[in-house]
Structure formats: structure tokens, C-alpha cells
Amino acid sequence: MQKLVLLRHGQSVWNQENRFTGWTDVDLSEQGRQEATHAGQLLRQHGYGFDIGFTSVLKRAIKTLDIALEEMDLLWIPVQKSWRLNERFYGALQGLNKAETSAKYGAEQVLRWRRDPHELPPALTRDDPRFPGHEARYQHLTARELPLTENLRQTMARVLPFWTEQIMSAIRSNQRVLVCAHGNSLRALVQYIDHLTDTEVAALNIPTGVPLVYELDDDLNRLRHYYLE
């Protein structure tokens, strides 16, 4: 039996301000730092150790992983960062306040944008300052990989190659893995691992900063999963 731990980053400043975040590189809030510290303490108290960490290229996830590893005195382990673990790209909604957007477009539409796995938020244009193609960290991405908007299906499609090629292969070589990512990139991964239907994943919300443990059999099928308390 193998264990895998998934961790959503601690609360960010824009989670706190109730703004659509996506690929915007906002920092952790003070509460988010505390959540990350607590996650690391919980993992340490339950005797967890890790050989490798995986995270996105966004600082709220990178810092959460760093803080949690520091609590376990594991800052020295290798960490691999990939844009494929980034939050779902929220298109032209990025930066908008969620309550104001509900008042403007209606709560039902906003809920579809947030949770319907097939619904595409309004797209950005390439000349928008928020387009990731302007950023050095995404220069190696192809034009097709650079998103203008993204639904959960598309998030899953870019997360899965990283899951199979990097994360699964680390688990298969008996490395103990900690993945620190985002609400929606983790929802996409959990939908895949748990074979959730679209209705089930629409209802799934992963809390910030709470370690989610997966026990896997030798073929890496899920045996059970639970949050650490």
C-alpha cells in the first residue's frame, strides 16, 4: 500500500477578498500561512515523511509547500514545480469580485462558471495584460497550451500528463509524495482518481490547508481517502 498526500494551498489574499484568482500570482494571507504551518504540524504529528514534493508555479502553493516542509524539517527534499498543477485559468473573470460578479450576471451563471466542469468563463484576449503569454515563467509553453480561458475538463487534460508521467512514476518508484496545488487543479485530479461523475465533482470543495491522504494499492487504484485532523 502506498500513501499520497494532496494539499490545497492555504488561504490566499484573493480568497480572503473573494476574488477570482486563477493564474494570478497572489500571496498567502496571514491565515493562509497559519494553515500551511498547521498542515505541516499535522503531517509531522501523524508521522508522515516525504521523498519528493510537487507544486505549481504560483507562490501561494509554492509557499504552502515550503512552510509545511519546514515544519517537518524536510526543506531539503527535491521539489518539482509545473504550470500543469496551476489553478484553473479563470479567463476574463480573474481579478473580479465573486459577489459583484453574481450581482451582475446572476448567482446561477456564476455557479456554472465556478463548478460546471464544461462551462467556459469569458475568455481573455492575447493583448490583455493578464494573458500568461506575457510572463517569463510561461515562455516555454506552446500557443495551444497558453490558455485564454479554461473549464475543469481542460484543467484535467493538462494536469493528467503530469500526474501519469511525474507523480505516478515517483509513487511507483516507492517515493513518498506530497502534492501542493489548488482548489480546481486538485478537484480535477480527485475526479480522475476517484472516478467522480460531473455531478459529484461539481459538489466537491477541497478546503485550504488540510492534508488529504490517499491510500493506493499496488496498481495505484484508490483504496480509501481521508482528511487529516
Ligand X SMILES: O=C(O)[C@@H](CO)OP(=O)(O)O
Interface with ligand X by CB under 6 A: which residues?
15, 20-22, 87, 90, 114, 183-184
Pair type for strands 79-81 and 2-8 = unpaired
The DSSP line for 97-161 is BHHHHHHHH-HHHHHHHHH-TTPPPPPP-TTSTT-GGGSGGGTTS-TTTS-SS--HHHHHHHHHH
At residue 43, φ and ψ (nearest 5 deg) are -60, -40
Q: Which residue is nearest to ligand X (CB)?
A: 21
128 has which bridge partners?
Answer: none
Cβ 184 to ligand X, closest distance in Å?
A: 5
User: Closest separation between CB of residue 15 and ligand X, Å?
Assistant: 5
Give the shortest CB-10-to-ligand X separation in angstroms. Answer: 12
Residue whose CB is less far from ligand X, 22 or 211: 22
**Residue 169 is labelled as binding a ligand:** no
Nearer to ligand X, 90 or 162 (CB): 90
| DSSP, res 91 | G
- Is residue 225 annotated as involved in ligand binding? no
Determine whether 87 is an active site residue.
Answer: yes
Nearest CB to ligand X, comparing residues 117 and 183: 183
For the chain, what is the radius of gyration of the CA atoms? 17
Residue of 17, 30, 70, 87 with catalytic role: 87
Does the annotation count 9 as an active-site position? yes
Select which of 9, 35, 71, 150 is catalytic: 9
CB of 144 to ligand X, least distance (A): 22
Q: Among residues 173 and 199, whose Cβ is nearest to ligand X?
A: 199
Nearer to ligand X, 95 or 133 (CB): 95
Beta strands in 9-49 (DSSP E): none
Task: Give the angle 96-13-111 at the CA atoms, nearest 5°.
Answer: 40
For residue 103, the cross-strand partners are none
Least separation in angstroms between residue 98's CB and ligand X is 6
Phi-psi region of 91 (alpha: psi -120 to 50; beta: other; left: phi over 0): left
Q: Which residues contact 35 (CB under 8 A, 6 or more apart)?
A: 10, 11, 64, 208, 209, 210
Active site residues: 9, 87
List, as residue ranges, the binding site for substrate.
8-15, 21-22, 60, 87-90, 98, 114-115, 183-184
